[in-house]
Amino acid sequence: MSLVFHILTLFPGMFESPFRWGILAKAIQEGKIRVETHDLREYGVGPHRATDDYPYGGGEGMVMKPDPLVAAIEEIRARGAKGPVILLTPQGEVFHQQMAKELASLSDLTLVCGRYEGVDERVRQGWVDQEVSIGDYILTGGELAAMVIVDAVARLVPGVLGNEDSALKDSFEGGLLKYPQYTRPAVFRGMRVPEVLLSGDHGAIARWRRRQALKRTLERRPDLLSKAELDSEDLRFLERLRSEAEG
């Protein structure tokens, strides 16, 4: 299993550092993922290699020209990349963990980083399979969004995380936020680690963690509960928390 990310950008230099550290650096070294940047300037038009132009109809800012984007996408395709072309834009579907999981099973992923006031609409119509936003705020371009997606997707590629089940215990896995974590010392500035975690009773620890995850999700992200995988014991516990909060 390996996944190649093809990134189309006017600023390939932005991608030099983020993947040189930690888990992703190791995954690249071991050939489990590859991150290839393609400089859109190289596909620019005319002596100045233009990649943007004024908007038809007038108005603010510049628009990314279709020709360099399509030339780059077609070259990547011609070299054998099969996966979808994703445009990073605040107008796209908001990125989430389930999307990351689906993308992690692919062999290639092409990420197009928009800049300025956006890309010519015809590129979206003819060459883009999916539009993705990383949240309801406006970045100066799609580059940081592409990095977020590479990071979230790469760690789910089989074999990238050392401990296979650490992805299974992530926040959002099963639809809940993660339980609180502690490490040594057992007492820090007078604050004790919850006794149950020192008990060695694995059943009790698992129950405590499950309940903490439920409590946290109810307090911070109640919107997640309607889609979470919950059993009857979870539902009873949530009911108790809710009635305690009311009482």
What does the binding site for ligand ADE look like in residue numbers (CB under 6 A)? Answer: 88-90, 114, 133-135, 137-139, 141-142, 145
| Closest approach of ligand ADE to the CB of residue 133, in Å | 4
Q: How far apart are the first and last CA of the chain?
A: 53
Q: Choose the catalytic residue: 117, 121, 129, 233.
A: 117
Nearer to ligand ADE, 24 or 88 (CB): 88
CA distances from 160 to 45, 153, 156, 169, 175 (A): 39, 10, 7, 15, 22
CB 112 within 8 Å of CB 88: yes
CB 106 within 8 Å of CB 3: yes
Query: Is 67 assigned a catalytic role?
Result: no
Q: Choose the catalytic residue: 39, 66, 108, 155.
A: 155
Written as one string, the DSSP assignment of 154-168 is: HTTSTTSSSSGGGTT
User: Which residue is nearest to ligand ADE, using beta carbons?
Assistant: 145
Nearer to ligand ADE, 51 or 89 (CB): 89
Q: Choose the catalytic residue: 36, 53, 170, 234.
A: 170
Query: Is 34 assigned a catalytic role?
Result: no
Query: Is 124 assigned a catalytic role?
Result: no
The catalytic residues are 90, 117, 155, 170
